[in-house]
Amino acid sequence: MIIIMLIQISFPETLITSIGVTVSVLGAYMNLEDPSIRKLSQYHDETVMAFATLIESRDNNTGGHVKRTSMYVKLIAEELRRNDKYQDILTKDYVANLIKAAPMHDIGKISVPDAILQKPGKLTDEEFAIMKQHSPNGGKIIQETFKNLGSDDYCEMAYLVARHHHEKWNGKGYPDGLKETEIPLCARIMAVADVFDAVSEKRCYRDAMPLDQCFAIIEDGRGQDFDPDIVDTFMNIRDKIKKAHRECTI
């Protein structure tokens, strides 16, 4: 596994092929009945995180985004369970699958050229159109490559998060223009976590924004970009989010 990852870092074009081979082998082992072999399932989280961090490194990130967004998703989902409206949906299994799926939300960025992913300035309309394809491409990669890794419920969750985390509450997002509750709940949660981290950390095209400004951006998007219930929940745990940001920032 270490050798494969070193090759992938040096030669990113080998990534999809290597992921396919590695995951297929791991998935086959995990589906065997021998209890000693099935112990490999304990490496599920580490494997997923390794793939996600490797892909993230292509846009000069070092894994911090994956760690922070996963923690934000966890905090939001756990707090949202207190809302009677979501108790039937946010079961323990749902939340557990969502936390495991969160690192996969940007896996489709492997399909975006470095010149666009690492561009220090504003993207042209044509470049942004290519960038937006990372969402449907991410869903496709999960369906075709990760089907043997984890349960069907987990794979479906990962697919929904990857494909729909850029949808907006008002229907003006992408790739499918879904609106309000047409957007899967897991993706609505992921959207808030993803945007908050995106604006709170330095990117190749701008500096990090102050946390108070980042919270204001989320609050201003209530009922437009984001599910109002999730925004309210996010603001209610502001102190926990700040603590997670401090602890997960590299």
**Model confidence over 136-194: pLDDT tens digits?**
999 999 998 876 655 789 899 999 999 999 999 999 999 999 999 999 999 999 999 99
Nearest alpha-carbon partner for 1 in 32, 40, 37, 31: 40
CB 211 within 8 A of CB 245: yes
CB 46 within 8 A of CB 172: no
Per-residue pLDDT tens for 81-117? Answer: 999 999 899 999 999 999 999 999 999 998 899 899 8
Q: Which domains does the chain have, with CATH numbers?
A: 2-248 (1.10.3210.10)
Q: Who's near 87: CB < 8 A, 6+ residues apart?
A: 81
Query: Which segment of 72-76, 112-116, 117-121, 197-201 scores lowest on mean pLDDT?
Result: 117-121
Query: Distance between CA 63 and CA 194 in Å, rounded?
Result: 13
Number of H-type helices and E-type strands within the chain = 14, 0
Per-residue pLDDT tens for 240-249? Answer: 999 999 887 6
Residue 124: other Cβ atoms inside 10 A:
11
Q: Does 226 score more than 70 pLDDT?
A: yes
**pLDDT for residue 40:** 41
Instruction: Give the model's confidence band at 54: pLDDT under 50 very low, under 70 low, under 90 confident, else very high.
Output: low
User: Residue 235: which H helix or E strand, with range?
Assistant: helix 228-236
The rounded mean pLDDT for the chain is 81
Read off the tokens for 85: 């409206």
CB 164 within 8 A of CB 135: yes
Nearest alpha-carbon partner for 221 in 246, 243, 188, 244: 188
Nearest alpha-carbon partner for 99 in 81, 124, 72: 72
Residue 144: other Cβ atoms inside 10 A:
10
Q: Who's near 37: CB < 8 A, 6+ residues apart?
A: 29, 30
**pLDDT for residue 44:** 60
The pTM score is: 0.80
Query: Distance between CA 131 and CA 114 in Å, rounded?
Result: 11
Nearest alpha-carbon partner for 43 in 59, 29, 62: 29
> In percent, how much of the chain has pLDDT > 90?
57
